Every structure is written in structure tokens, then in C-alpha cells.
Amino acid sequence: MTSKFARFLIATAFVLPVTALAQTGSAAAALPPAPSAAPAPPAATNPGGTRIGTINIEQAVFGSNEGQRDIEALSKKLEPKQTELKGSNDELENLKKQLNTQGDKLNDEARATLVKQIEQKQKSFERSVQDARDDAQNQQNEIFQRILQRMGPLVLKYAGDNGFGLIIDTSNPWPQGPVVWAGPAIDITKPIVDAFNTQSGVPAPKPAAGSKPGASATKPAGTAPAAPKPGVTPAPAPKPQGTQPPK
């Protein structure tokens, strides 16, 4: 995806106090109904473990084989809309260029007509972009929720089996997220992804041409079209940031 298309980051509050784990029913019930909702902890009957762990739940979901497959399918599905929006933006840019280069040569009526045409196309373009963004984000959220509903019980089981009393999500770096710093030794993202890949049976996606072998997937980028500002070259999308202390 080009830098003209915005990234949609799904913010989740995923802090799980791990107590007595009910293997399936109560584990699934602990999952959030929406990506932005905090999960309710399972009912406690006995004290849980004492270890504290972290997981990048977005990376776990979208970095799984199934997540990568479905996001790639969504990106391809959205390509016609992105092409359509690019065509609309190009048409709008040509009209603005015409106004800039020929505006002083046009009479008042012709110039007013051109300005009105640009304004109408600008409003229509912005509405189309917003609709495309909303549609893309809704579909991305559906992918996230569907995978999370099946991954959640694996997180709870892994935490219980390995003596964790608390699992904290590090999807958002500090200060947006709650963790200032956490060492890799307590991160359980990879074993959860490995366990989910085994459970789902979805094969690993083939690496794209030019990509480095073994590169880990992170949050999806560019699944939704964004409105490029006319006459301005968009800045490249920021790289995903790890959890690190402030400078």
C-alpha cells in the first residue's frame, strides 16, 4: 500500500488478571465485545499465578497466519476502491491546476463555474474517502474480533499453565499505553501466535517479492483509503514502535 492510504490501529485494553481458569466457556466470555472494550476478568475462586507477562495483542492477531491471510485478502478487496479514489483525486488535481494556470485568463463567469465545480468535487471526494475508511475499518475490526475470540482462550490457558497472574497488552507504546518499559523475557506474543497457528491449521503466507525472510508481521497498514491532500506529498506512515521508556 502507498503512503496515501492511512493505517487504522485497533486500540485494545487487554489486561487480564489470571485466576482460576475455566477452560472454555468462561474464557470465551472474558473476551471483549469490541476491540476498544476492556475484557471482564473471569470469575475468581482461587488465587492465580504470581508472574506478570505482556502480549502485543494486535501483533498476535494480525501477525498470525490467519490474520495475515485475511488482511491481505481485505487489501486486495479494497484495491478497486483505492483506484477509484485515486482517479477522483487526479481529476480534482487537474481542475485545480487548470484554475491556477488559467484562472487569470478566464472571465468572471467561467472562473466562478470552475471554482464551483472544484468545490463540489472536493466535497464528493471527501465523502467517498470517509465512507471507504469506515467500511475498511469495520471489516478490519471484524477480522480482529473473529480471531481474538478464538485466540483469547489460548492466552488464558497459557497464562494459567505458566504461572502468570497478570497479562498486560503492549499494543500501544507509552504514553498511549500503560507500559513504560517491559523486557522481552516476559513477552508471550510469539508462543501465543505459534499455538494459534497450530490450532487454526492455516499455513504461513508466502513472503512477498523483495521481503526479508523471517520478517515478523505487525499491525496491518494501508487497508483503508485516506484522502491525500491536494498538492501535498503525504509523509510516509510511521513505523510500528516497540514498548520502550521515554527519552
> What digits encode the pLDDT tens for the residues 95-134?
999 999 888 888 889 899 999 999 999 999 999 999 999 9
Reported as a single tens digit per residue, the pLDDT across 27-85 is 333 333 334 433 433 433 334 578 999 999 999 999 999 999 999 999 999 999 999 99
* pLDDT in the model for residue 207: 77
Instruction: Name the more confident of 110 and 135.
Output: 135
Reported as a single tens digit per residue, the pLDDT across 177-228 is 889 999 999 999 999 999 999 999 999 988 766 655 544 455 554 444 444 4
Reported as a single tens digit per residue, the pLDDT across 219-239 is 554 444 444 443 333 333 333
**Are 220 and 69 contacting, i.e. CB atoms less than 8 angstroms apart?**
no
Instruction: Name the more confident of 162 and 32.
Output: 162
What residue ranges do the domains of the chain occupy? 16-166+177-200
Cis bond before residue 153 (omega within 30° of 0): no
Rounded Cα distance, 227 and 184, in Å:
37
* pLDDT in the model for residue 169: 95
**For residue 94, what pLDDT band results from cuts at 50, 70 and 90?**
very high
* pLDDT in the model for residue 210: 62
Q: What is the pTM of this model?
A: 0.67
* pLDDT in the model for residue 211: 58
Least confident of 23-32, 86-95, 131-140, 158-167: 23-32
